[in-house]
Structure 1
């Protein structure tokens, strides 16, 4: 990774000029190391939801192709319906958070965790997540509920490595009350445990992640990282359950402590190691 937050991913859903203008506050390293304003949090949320929209649009096009060529899905119609509902929600979320920016609203968000670490971590990540469970395994979102009246609730995470520090941030909009219990769990946990948990969320639930070459060997050789990279919401084979994997009945999902915590200082990038990375 070179330049940290400014190179945390190429964004193609809107024009470059619009991208640079709308997101200029949070993409400024001098701003992001300060306590975040509602405007900055809203900018992060908008970008996260646009990234999700782009991802879902691509997935919708792939479903019929994969079904036709590989027969991957037991219920492709249900899957397509879920993806369509997701897209509708993402569009609504974009407009909602965009309105917060345009109207300069205050007091809209709840910080779950924020820390400026005094070292550069070897990963950069940013995403919106619909968490199915909290830290203790209690149900939060019913992610397979097809009822259009049930709105999924989102948390947002960002891990932004800068020159010699890293910003780790997790937050949600206050209307998403399902995360209140998670907030209390995080507040009563040690920083080490919270960083371990956020590190796990990145591998389990996100795709917009970039890695330093420093951890390339660990990523390639660690069996638990390989396992979690093939999970979807704690289910094997990207959530594609069938008789071939016993519908996940005997599957033991990866836990936060099973994988290396790349947010820990032991994995920090030293100045002499500060080289370009790769996705």
Structure 2
């Protein structure tokens, strides 16, 4: 009987999701990898299984649809999941007013509805078993006013904190990860230029390692790197009208470039 722990990771075909899969496989976890792209997902599963001698299952699911969310919920309900990583996400290149209703709905589905429902399903199973860990990738953008992206990331962070409070007397940990700028395919897929100086950018390996360490320590909020911990601390003190002003200025500069 295989007694290795098992992790389910959404958005696992690339970027942070791929790195979470890599590091958890290295730690001896079997994997359930979820994303929309079947070919990329199967390649990741094959590579990790061969390299780390673990078992990797693939679940093709579009989390912008209720069917996709339901499919993964069923997996959680019928498979022992020791760690859930809600990582799937995407950004909108256009502002709220210039985005279509379908784009806004998809953003909400992937980065909030899926996070909420999958976290709930995993938490129920983990609480019954007496242990487990949930890692939800939010963003430091949750403290800005960058349109829908900030809104859904802020809501996902609050859902995570609320769930952590509900599970405080159990051995189930729930962690919201708040990365700053990370070097992945995220901005390339949006076809936007990476903002700011190079020192602002973290590599995915560092972000994932820091967040997994924090999750294992039971921390509810994880902010990878000292530089972004300072940004997070400052965000607690800056008056919200100033946050709106700074967010608007940054948004205007980005839209002017594109």
TM-score clears 0.5: no
Which is helix-richer, 1 or 2?
2
Q: Which has the larger radius of gyration?
A: 1
- Normalized against structure 1, the TM-score is what? 0.30
- Normalized against structure 2, the TM-score is what? 0.32
> Quick one: higher RCO (CA 8 Å, sep 6+), 1 or 2?
1
